[in-house]
């Protein structure tokens, strides 16, 4: 059977069993080049399929996914998802997306330029070697993934998405004799490799910083000061904040400290955070939500005001709140008015946190962790790179304690972030 | 997964080639405040080939088990290796070979439970919590079962079959304190399919009661006082220290990448009280949480004694890294999915027990902390580590005091291990280890409690 036949057949079978159902079928090819210890070591080609079924009957629901598309597997998958769904506890919040007009979405190339990938990767290694001879590229992965997805349900929704994207990540450290920096890592996504890899994201900046971080100093004692969170690190902080406040789990369980804050000021008025999965400015976006709706862009925090939760259809039904128009991610934070240098110059005492290695924050927002690849600031100047330094504070309070947002931003392909300075964070050394 | 006669493809294997068929099957059931919010199964399977050519690797995989797809993946992997060899021309020699045949099947012999029975079991656990502890603000009970089944053929003559299952139930409880949620979790279960691991929901009630009691302590807890303190790291934290902060630095690919362990071989890196082993399948006469008898390169898995009485003795190896260092492969090459290449991974990493009782260890500290449960951990190739701690108690004048709120501990592992002055005489394995290094991987972590100096975060 061809892909559309599989979808139609599967949905018809499930409908005949009295099920409301959705079905997603995807076919993907990943072509990946791997670097280990500064050398290209492996080329990997991954062909894969996916068939994901979600079925509901009498308010009972279940999901089953399998990665084969032959008739026997499909029939077995249909029988399995029916059994799983019928086994569940009833919950009237289960639902599938209502009818939406059919649409086809496309982004990015269909095939990789394999020679260009090799040239770019080899160029990256050569440039690192010449510009940053103390760097060891511990690993790097450059891949191109092409995926076609067919998403349909028994309400008549029928979407097709096709996407090709290059993604790159690398982990590296700098060495000088017996001394070495901590490792650091970064990456980006792009629809074309029209530049050298070093020109994307924050790669060049972080490699240069690693060389500075071969020798570090420790801070003594503790103080409350400012922290400037870098774009790489900010994406982690944002995931933590939203994870404990505006997604299904926190809102259904009632543990979110933002549960009653919709439409209210939760952050500094200068903070504007968008989620833009279908914007041309985000290369690695998505077209359809996990529960089968056409994705739309939204603003989550608008001048400090919480504008939306990121609830799925189930989460919305469960809480009586509104379903979000996307699944989050693809965050774009509006820039501020000051340069990073100006922001640093106004810090009496604090640190730049370039990587956070810490425990998951508590549900109330408390966090503590190690500031890795970070720098000490005093009297408006960066003093030296630091090690064995911990930061602790509360994420919810930090949103209101923004000192400044930089006008410079970094585009990672999956999000665009500035540097943000926060006050009132506890910084402790040895 | 259907058993495949991989040997019939031997004539297709030119040069060093691994041919692996694999299926990962997952069952996940979740109850959040009594609602059955998760009810999922997934099956991911396929076949892959990895080809070695003079130091360059090619890999390809397909979800289909047909003769044609096997031919295709071997052809694509060979083409990838040839492309890279043509560009890189590394000229490295053949990999070491020591062929073996092995079959290790840990699937249950009992009748399999249906999804409905699994849901009923999970629901009973949830109902017990709901009825006995109505003052909880929230609760989440999640059942997660993973079966990993692999068949392997290598061109140098190894044939292996393995079925490694794991069944876990995690329970999270949340209480409200002055409008702020305070949370605590624990994970129960072990190696084996559900039927061999869990018998009756009531078997968990004692552990649930303890978890609730610990949460009550935590709700009335205090922030830890930051700074370097005398601490007792209980087994779960000792295990994560052994895995994250020491084990990773001794993985030979990371050693080549510049890890701090590169300059420590045969040197004193820890107190003589510390011996640390990456066990293959048995430890101290018992089967390990994640027993590996043959790795995904067809190498017989052997114990790797990483630290022996404080001295660094070995790294963890694949065939290629062993060739580089001129030593025997240790059987540490493992792949997560059919579509993943084997990487150097730990199996079951633990510090060996010592001679002290936990009571004596607590009594020996005037002002410090007894740290029991981590929630996550990360370490650097310098061995600088960070672990989130969600359960711990003050120690004041040799006695346990108040519980502490969530905190983080950090340090340089090789320095911290030099400060170890006591090691408890018992041993406990953490059942739910999942390591991340490009691919996820289930691992065992464990050990005794250790007394050391460590930097603790707080306010």
Per the listing, tokens 């692999």 go with B150
What are the C-alpha distances in Å from A376 to residues A82, A226, A344, A383? 58, 10, 11, 6
Strand bridging mode B282-283 / B286-287: antiparallel
Q: Is A138 helix (H, G, I), strand (E, B) or coil?
A: strand
The ranges assigned to domains in chain B are 6-219, 227-456
Clarify whether residues A148 and A251 are in a common domain.
Answer: no
Q: Contact at 8 Å (CB) between B437 and B345?
A: yes
Residues of B in contact with A88 (CB under 8 A): 36, 39, 119
Cβ–Cβ contact B76 with A under 8 A: yes
Chain B contact probe: residue of A368, A374, A397 with most B CBs at under 10 A = A368
CATH fold for the domain made of B6-219: PmbA/TldD fold (3.30.2290)
Our CA dihedral for B443, B449, B450, B451, rounded to 10 degrees, sits at: 150
Residues 22-61 of A with CB under 8 A from B: 34, 36-37, 39-49, 61
Looking at residue A327, its pLDDT comes to: 97
Grade residue B11 by pLDDT with cuts at 50, 70 and 90: very high
- Taking phi over 0 as left and psi of -120 to 50 as alpha, with beta for the rest, B243 belongs to alpha
User: Do A297 and A189 share a domain, yes or no?
Assistant: no
The shortest C-alpha distance from A131 to chain B (Å) reads: 19
Q: What is the mean pLDDT of residues A137-154?
A: 97
Q: Considering only CA atoms, which of A316, A315, A313, A10 is closest in space to residue A158?
A: A10
Helix ranges (H only) for A32-95 are 71-87
Mean pLDDT of chain B: 95
B89 and chain A: CB distance < 8 Å anywhere? no
Structure tokens at B16: 């060093």
Q: Looking at the structure, do residues A46 and A165 belong to the same domain, yes or no?
A: yes
Q: Which residue of A has its CA nearest to B406?
A: A362
Residues of chain A contacting B37 with CB distance shorter than 8 Å: 91, 248, 252, 314
Q: Are residues A206 and A114 in the same domain?
A: yes
What tokens does A32 get? 């990946």
Q: Which two tokens stand for residue A128?
A: 């690192």
CA distance B63 to chain A (A): 6
- Residue from the list B36, B182, B258 with its beta carbon closest to the beta carbon of A138: B258
Q: Considering A151, A185, A212, which residue would you say is the last residue of a domain?
A: A212
* Confidence check: pLDDT of A55 > 80: yes
> Domain check: are A202 and A336 in the same one?
no
On whether both A75 and A149 belong to a single domain, the answer is: yes
Specify the 3-state DSSP secondary structure of B132. helix
Closest-CA distance, B355 to chain A, in angstroms, reads 31
Nearest chain A residue to B64, by CA? A68
Mean pLDDT within A244-251: 96
What tokens appear for B440 in the block?
């996820």
B443 pLDDT more than 70:
yes
Residue with tokens 């492969």: B329
Reported residue count of chain B is 459
**With an 8 Å Cβ cutoff, is B58 touching chain A?**
yes
What pLDDT score does B458 carry?
67
Q: Using an 8 Å Cβ cutoff, are B276 and B243 in contact?
A: no
B115, A87: Cβ pair inside 8 Å?
Answer: yes
Structural contact between residues A74 and A10, judged by C-beta atoms closer than 8 angstroms: yes
Q: Note whether A242 and A376 are same-domain residues.
A: yes
Please answer yes or no on whether B83 and A43 come within 8 Å at the CB atom.
Answer: yes
Whether residue B324 is predicted with pLDDT greater than 80 in this model: the reply is yes
- Residues A257, A189 share a domain: no
In this structure, of A317-321, A397-401, B98-102, B275-279, the range with the lowest mean pLDDT score is B98-102
Residues from chain B contacting residue A247 (CB–CB below 8 Å): none
The pLDDT assigned to A111 comes to: 96
Q: Which of A194, A212, A230 corresponds to the end of one domain?
A: A212
**What pLDDT sits at residue A388?**
84
SS3 B176: strand
Mean pLDDT of A148-157: 97
Spatial CB neighbours of A383, under 8 Å, sequence gap ≥ 6:
A375, A376, A377
Are residues A397 and A422 both part of a single domain? Answer: yes
Beta carbons of B126 and B139 less than 8 angstroms apart: yes
Q: In terms of CA atoms, which chain A residue is nearest residue B55?
A: A41
**CB-CB neighbors (< 8 A) of B84 in chain A:** 40-43
Structure tokens at A213: 């971080």
Number of domains in chain A: 2
A286 and A430 belong to one structural domain: yes
Give the integer Cα–Cα distance in Å for A84 and A104: 31
B39-65 pLDDT, tens digit each: 999 999 999 999 999 999 999 999 999
| Secondary structure (H, E, C), A207-256 | HHHHHHCCCCECCCCEEEEEEEECHHHHHHHHHHHHHHHCEHHHHHHCCC
A89, A25: one domain: yes
Contact of A68 with A154, CB cutoff 8 Å = no
* CA dist., res. B171 & res. A6, Å (int): 39
Q: How far is B338 from chain A (nearest CA, A)?
A: 10
Other residues' Cβ atoms within 10 Å of the Cβ of residue A175: 18
Q: Are residues A206 and A290 in the same domain?
A: no
Interface list for B 273-332 with A (CB within 8 A): none
Q: Look up the CATH number of the domain holding residue A84.
A: 3.30.2290.10
End of a domain among A184, A212, A240? A212
Domain of A105 in residue numbering reads as: 3-212
Q: Given pLDDT bands bounded at 50, 70 and 90, which one contains residue B459? A: low
How much is the pLDDT for A383?
A: 97
Interface pTM, i.e. ipTM = 0.92
State the average pLDDT over residues A219-235.
94
Q: Could you tell me which residues come within 8 angstroms of residue B192 by beta carbon, excluding any fewer than 6 positions away? A: B106, B108, B165, B166, B167
């Amino acid at each position: 059977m061809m892909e559309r036949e599989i979808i139609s057949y599967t949905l018809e079978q499930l409908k005949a069993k009295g099920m409301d159902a959705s079905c997603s079928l995807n076919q993907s090819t990943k072509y990946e080049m791997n670097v280990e210890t500064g050398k290209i070591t492996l080329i990997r080609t991954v062909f894969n399929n996916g068939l994901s079924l979600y079925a509901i009957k009498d308010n009972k629901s279940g999901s089953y996914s399998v990665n084969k598309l032959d008739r026997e597997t499909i029939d077995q998958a249909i029988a399995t998802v029916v059994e799983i769904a019928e086994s569940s506890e009833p919950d009237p919040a289960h639902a599938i997306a209502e009818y939406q007009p059919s649409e086809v979405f496309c982004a990015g190339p269909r095939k990789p330029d394999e020679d260009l990938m090799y040239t770019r990767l080899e160029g990256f290694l050569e440039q690192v070697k010449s510009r940053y001879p103390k760097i060891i590229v511990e690993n790097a992965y450059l891949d191109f993934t092409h995926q076609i997805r067919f998403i349909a349900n028994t309400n008549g929704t029928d979407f097709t998405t096709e996407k090709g994207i290059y993604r790159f990540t690398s982990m590296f450290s700098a060495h000088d004799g017996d001394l070495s920096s901590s490792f650091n890592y970064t990456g980006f996504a792009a629809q074309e490799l029209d530049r050298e890899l070093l020109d994307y994201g924050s790669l060049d900046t972080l490699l240069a910083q690693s060389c500075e971080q071969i020798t570090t100093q420790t801070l003594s004692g503790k103080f409350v000061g400012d922290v400037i969170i870098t774009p790489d690190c900010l994406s982690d902080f944002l995931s933590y904040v939203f994870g404990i406040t505006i997604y299904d789990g926190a809102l259904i369980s009632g543990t979110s400290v933002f549960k009653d804050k919709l439409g209210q000021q939760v952050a500094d008025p200068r903070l504007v955070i968008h989620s833009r999965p279908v914007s041309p400015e985000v290369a690695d976006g998505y077209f359809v939500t996990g529960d089968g709706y056409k994705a739309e862009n939204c603003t989550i925090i608008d001048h400090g005001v919480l504008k939306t939760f990121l609830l799925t259809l189930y989460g919305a039904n469960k809480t009586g709140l509104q379903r979000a128009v996307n699944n989050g991610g693809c965050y774009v934070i509006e820039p501020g008015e000051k340069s990073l240098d100006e922001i640093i110059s106004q810090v009496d005492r604090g640190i730049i946190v370039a990587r956070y290695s810490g425990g998951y924050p508590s549900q109330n927002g408390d966090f503590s962790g190690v500031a890795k690849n970070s720098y000490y600031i005093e009297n408006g100047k960066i003093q030296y790179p630091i090690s064995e330094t911990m930061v602790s504070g509360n994420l919810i309070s930090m949103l209101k304690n923004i000192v400044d947002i930089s006008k410079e931003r970094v585009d990672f392909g999956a999000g665009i972030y500035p540097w943000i300075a926060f006050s009132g964070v506890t910084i402790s050394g040895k | 997964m259907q058993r495949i006669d991989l040997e019939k493809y031997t004539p297709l294997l030119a040069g060093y080639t691994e041919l692996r068929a694999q299926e990962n099957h997952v069952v996940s059931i979740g109850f959040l405040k009594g609602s059955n919010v998760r009810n999922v199964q997934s099956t991911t399977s396929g076949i892959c080939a990895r080809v070695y050519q003079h130091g360059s690797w090619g890999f390809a995989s397909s979800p289909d088990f047909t003769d044609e797809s096997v031919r295709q993946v071997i052809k694509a992997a060979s083409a990838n290796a040839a492309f890279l060899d043509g560009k890189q021309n590394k000229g490295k020699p053949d990999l070491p070979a020591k062929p073996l045949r092995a079959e290790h099947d840990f699937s249950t012999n009992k009748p399999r439970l249906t999804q409905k029975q699994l849901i009923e079991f999970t629901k009973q656990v949830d109902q017990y919590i709901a009825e006995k502890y109505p003052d909880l603000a929230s609760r989440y009970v999640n059942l997660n079962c993973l079966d990993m089944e692999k068949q392997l053929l290598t061109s140098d003559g190894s044939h292996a079959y393995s079925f490694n299952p794991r069944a876990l139930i995690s329970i999270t409880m949340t209480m409200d304190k002055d409008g702020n949620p305070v949370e605590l979790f624990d994970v129960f279960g072990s190696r084996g399919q559900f039927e061999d691991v869990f018998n009756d929901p009531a078997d968990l009630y004692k552990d649930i009661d303890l978890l609730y009691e610990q949460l009550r302590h935590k709700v009335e807890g205090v922030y830890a006082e930051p700074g370097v303190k005398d601490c007792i790291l209980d087994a779960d934290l000792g295990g994560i220290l052994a895995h994250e902060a020491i084990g990773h630095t001794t993985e030979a690919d990371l050693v080549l990448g510049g890890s701090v362990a590169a300059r420590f071989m045969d040197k004193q890196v820890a107190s003589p009280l510390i011996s640390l082993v990456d066990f293959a399948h048995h430890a101290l006469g018992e089967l390990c949480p994640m027993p590996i008898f043959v790795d995904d390169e067809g190498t017989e898995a052997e114990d790797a004694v990483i630290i022996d009485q404080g001295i660094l003795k070995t790294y963890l190896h694949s065939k290629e890294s062993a060739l580089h260092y001129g030593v025997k492969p240790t059987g540490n090459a493992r792949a997560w999915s059919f579509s993943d290449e084997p990487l150097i991974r730990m199996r079951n990493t633990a510090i060996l027990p010592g001679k002290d009782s936990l009571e004596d260890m607590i009594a020996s500290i005037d002002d410090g902390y007894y740290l029991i449960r981590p929630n996550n951990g990360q370490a650097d190739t310098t061995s600088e580590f960070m672990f989130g701690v969600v359960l711990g108690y003050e120690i004041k004048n040799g006695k346990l005091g108040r519980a502490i709120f969530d905190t983080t501990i950090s340090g340089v592992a090789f320095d911290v291990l030099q400060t170890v002055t006591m090691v408890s005489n018992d041993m406990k394995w953490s059942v739910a280890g999942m390591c991340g290094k490009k691919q996820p991987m289930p691992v065992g972590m464990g050990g005794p409690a250790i007394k050391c100096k460590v930097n603790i975060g707080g306010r």
